[in-house]
Amino acid sequence: MERKDQRNWKVPYFDNLCPKDTDWARLAAFIDGEGSILINTHSPKGRVNPGFYLRVTVANTDVRLPVWLKETFGGTYKDANTPKYYEGKNWKRCYHWGASAHRGAWVLHNCLPYFIMKRDQAEIGISLQESMSKFTRGRGKEVPFDLVEERKSLKQELLALKRRGVTTVPEAKVTV
Closest CA to 3 of 147, 70, 103, 117: 103
Residues 52 and 128 sit within 8 Å (Cβ to Cβ): yes
CA-to-CA dists, residue 146 to 82, 95, 151, 160, angstroms = 40, 38, 9, 21
How far is 19 from 103, CA to CA, in rounded Å?
13
Rg of the chain over CA atoms, in angstroms? Answer: 18
Q: Domains of the chain (ranges plus CATH)? A: 3-162 (3.10.28.10)
Residues 81 and 128 sit within 8 Å (Cβ to Cβ): no
* Secondary structure (3-state) at 17: strand
Q: What does the pLDDT average to over 138-156?
A: 87
Residues 71 and 24 sit within 8 Å (Cβ to Cβ): no
User: What digits encode the pLDDT tens for the residues 97-130?
Assistant: 999 999 999 999 999 999 999 999 999 999 999 9
Model pLDDT, residue 48: 76
Mean pLDDT of the chain: 88
Residue 45 predicted with pLDDT over 90: no
Model pLDDT, residue 142: 80
